[in-house]
Chains A and B, each alone.
Chain A
């Protein structure tokens, strides 16, 4: 589509601006704050990688234009991981050892993050995640140098279950991609359904890269559920939604997805209409900080910021808060500061808690609708939940009640 071209051109421009020595020199010649960002920029996960890069670059540009952070310019070291954990570990090690980055963003896939996290201590590096949903990163796989600024998989599932509790629907089915995120989320969902005293009638997992979902759709139809919980992303998600519309699945079953993003809506068009789901960030969130952010983003890129662009921006805000509080980027000092970092950001209040380094933040439930002034459908917020309701107890992946 036409917007992707302008967006691309704009992104190139921002890259130049970030990297331009002129900008760096403005910042009083102080040593730059180097942030390594291993991202999937090619391969199937590239959509998310691109978004994360945009979010971080936009932040770096904004900060550098104001004279930097602690008077030091932000320098991003972006590397392509192709979405492969082995390459990701190599690239992460590269930015740490070669470029001297002790701050990390990025790692698009959970498998990449899980491979990198055990090495953080050795590298003396802090990793602030903006999209890793795997509950174990703040649970069984927790390490002190990992911080999660984004909503986790269990949290987005919790948002959905809280919303469903209010409704009339009784029977639930679930379909997820056959990997950690899918299994995690569906486990949590099952647990939530049981607590709400409703029926979980079954689940099915599709291998990553599935192209034909007709069999899975048949299974969903046969299950006789009122609603189907979907845990899918990227190409699989697009294929599933397109084919669900082919079969008019939504006529029979309310589709509820764990993550609604603009990219998939653009990719599947009207097939997304009526889809309900949790979202980690949506540009229609109504607060001042977000309005200003969306405004500035539109000016820069000519589009609305998408989920991972917003999430990355918030992650940057949290890191910024931590650095400002610590007045340093020294790993130990920064870790201590980040443990109590709190921001009033585009999603409202978000605060890291010390016990598992998860950012407690509000969750949003949206429904995809047609709206005046937008060419494609957009997500409209239909419910919001405060952070303490949707965040599990420390290092837990399921909820008490």
Chain B
């Protein structure tokens, strides 16, 4: 394959991976921005998304149904958890959130094992997207193009949502100054529940979208949560644009770094993080930490 084809396909690969990372990262960063908590269970929500997606496909027979059902159910579960547990803890130290979300990770992992079993499960891309297209004579999976496009569409949608809608405005205002929003007569608690739900729902979408690439398996959660932490930190905690930038940076470094320095594959992401944090301790677009 010639270099042009190589470059184009690798960039598209990186974009599709960035899209998946973005679905995880944006949820985590929104939650952090509003609630000042680090959601350790984010990977578990991602995994739950994939499994719910599997069952949705099995029952409804349709990948698109999964794409709708999964975020709703996962987001709903997130809201229930926020209402039932997190809400009781807002006056507490960060370590309390760390503990409950760590506990939740264990519980969700085991619950999924009990419900769906230990074996990995196949989630197929919809037939319309299972084909390939030829880019400069190189075959490229349609599904990955779809991922990249979905990432861009959702990113723009979230951006518009934050800029244009009332809830978006409230979310931004709350992350700036929750007291003030509260004083102006909005129930900040509702905003928090909504954001936690949205964040988990986005992780759920990510899970469904990732499933055709990696199958739905119990191995999804642990690596996902750490990747997500890294991109959110690189981008700047609480920054929407930062999470998009972090996802792009990590995806491109992974794809090209792994190609040229396969021995460093394990360390690449962390090297990038160290470099970014040493230069800008708050992350690329974050406030000073």
Contact = CB atoms under 8 A, between A and B. Distances in A.
A141 interface: no
A268 B141 CA distance: 16
A5 interface: yes
Contacts of A204: 262
Interface stretch (A120-128, A213-221, A285-293): A213-221
Interface string A70-108: 000000000000000000000000000000000000000
Contacts of B223: 209, 211
Interface of A: 1, 4-5, 7-8, 41-44, 46-47, 49-50, 178, 204-207, 209-212, 214-216, 218-219, 221-222, 234-235, 238-239, 242-243, 246-248, 263-264, 266-269
Of the listed residues B124, B139, B219, the one surrounded by the most CB atoms of chain A closer than 10 A to its CB is: B219
By Cβ-Cβ distance, the 5 closest A-B pairs, closest first, are A4-B117, A235-B219, A267-B120, A246-B141, A214-B13
B117 A5 contact: yes
B258 A235 contact: no
A206 B259 CA distance: 11
A276 B109 CA distance: 33
Of the listed residues A5, A204, A238, A266, the one surrounded by the most CB atoms of chain B closer than 10 A to its CB is: A238
A263 B215 CA distance: 12
A247 B139 contact: yes
A264 to B, nearest CB: 7
Nearest to A204: B262
B212 A242 contact: yes
A207 to B, nearest CB: 4
Majority DSSP secondary structure for residues of B touching A = helix
Majority DSSP secondary structure for residues of A touching B = helix
A294 B194 CA distance: 53
B52 interface: no
Of the listed residues B110, B120, B255, B259, the one surrounded by the most CB atoms of chain A closer than 10 A to its CB is: B120
Contact of A235 (B10, B109, B143, B214): B214
Interface residues of B, number: 45
Contact of B117 (A8, A44, A210): A8
Given A235-B214, A267-B122, A207 B113 contact: no
B225 interface: no
A220 to B, nearest CB: 12
A47 B1 contact: no
Interface string B1-26: 10000100110010011000000000
Contacts of A268: 122, 215
B265 A235 contact: no
Given A212-B254, A222-B1, A247-B132, A264 B13 contact: no
Contacts of B222: 44, 209
